[in-house]
Amino acid sequence: MKRTMDNLIPIPSFEVRADTALPFDLFVRLPVTNRVILYRRHGSTLEQEKFDHASARKFNFLVSKLEYEKYLGYMTREFLNLISKKEKEPEKVRAAVRLVLASPFAQDSLGEARELVDNMGDLITRLVSDLASEGFVSRQTLFLKFAKLARTGTDFQRHPLHVASLTLMLALGIGISDQRTLVEAGLASLLHDIGLTQLPMSVIAEAHKYRELGTVSRALLKLHPQGSLDILRNKGIVVSRLMESMILQHHEEYGGTGYPAGLVGESVHPMAQVMHVADDLDDLLSEADGGESIEVRLRALFARYEKENTIAPVLRQRLERLLF
């Protein structure tokens, strides 16, 4: 068992169509027994009735390490196809996003959930690198550079890549398919917290626990969105209007209780709100909290959003439908 798992990589759920051959062997880990079986052999198709569970949210798919790149290529082509057909079939994009996005949050184990989000980062990185990026190649190159740095880093350093993955998946799921917007939103996510590096270590460690902090730490934390922008400008990185709004406003709240400016309502950019949710989602997976399941904590997060008016109600409901 151990030896098998060492050669396999868990991947988020996706739609396995009966009539479409996959370019890789697909394995599945069975519930209860945890036994891993070959589910669909490379190149073969199946009759519909044989895989009625295929789109189940809790389906634990795996691929061999040797075929991981093939899997990433397959999923990227699927997504690029869906994006380019979006006008005709927004429902299909939403359904595809929902399977990938909901997988980590349906796990019982935080470790497995985190591994799935890491692997979502590989998928998003491949997707960004395969976008036809006429006119914004430099943004794309920067994304790939920072994504690679994050992927090979510590848990803390992987946070921005998790946020980028979750932001882009959520954005795709609510119908955003403009390629420049996606690359810029991804880059803003990768760089959103870079201003934290100017703060004392004790404050950095608590950066996502603003509500629980004292006055001094709060005052320091309020500086980091502008700090992130300042660092980027000092490094000569061109920051677009979208990136600026997302980075400056990622802790603002629709009801006006966020920071640093306390913006209210529609003045908080919708993509900053999406990134705010992605930031909270990664934080939710970063530590166990009172032994409650991931799903229970996810529901509590959205209940809090509703109660405290953190996210615009219509947007909140659309994002929520992608996660459950």
The residues that touch Fe ion, with contacts defined as CB under 5 A, are 193, 279
Q: Which is nearer to Fe ion, 108 or 308 (CB)?
A: 308
Which residue, 25 or 193, is less far from Fe ion as judged by CB? 193
Min. distance of Cβ 298 from Fe ion in angstroms?
17
CB-nearer residue toward Fe ion: 160 or 173? 160
Write down the least CB distance from residue 192 to Fe ion, Å.
6
Cβ-based nearer residue to Fe ion, 92 or 151 = 151
The least distance separating Fe ion from the CB of residue 249, rounded to whole angstroms, comes to: 10
- Closest of 39, 34, 41, 40 to residue 2, by C-alpha: 34
| Residue number, 184 or 279, with CB nearest to Fe ion | 279
Give least dist CB 279 to Fe ion, A.
Answer: 4
Residue 286 or 293: the one with the smaller Cβ distance to Fe ion is: 286
What are the start-end ranges of the H helices in the chain? 2-6, 68-84, 90-105, 110-130, 137-151, 155-173, 179-191, 201-205, 215-221, 224-234, 241-249, 270-286, 294-308, 313-323
| In the complex, least distance from residue 234 CB atom to Fe ion, rounded to whole angstroms | 19
C-alpha distances out from residue 264 to 174, 227, 229, 267, 271, Å:
22, 22, 21, 6, 15
- The span from the CA of 9 to the CA of 112, in Å, is 10
Between CA 193 and CA 21 the distance in angstroms is: 41
Concatenating the DSSP letter of every residue in 181-200 gives HHHHHHHHHHHTTGGGGGS-
Residue 262 burial (C-beta neighbours within 10 Å; 0-12, 13-18, 19+): exposed
The conformation of residue 1, written as its DSSP 8-state character, comes to -
Least separation in angstroms between CB 269 and Fe ion: 15
Tokens 């946020």 correspond to what residue? 163
Min separation Cβ 178 and Fe ion, Å: 24
Contact (CB, 8 A) for 33 and 39:
no
Which of 244/279 has CB closer to Fe ion? 279
Residue type, 295: E
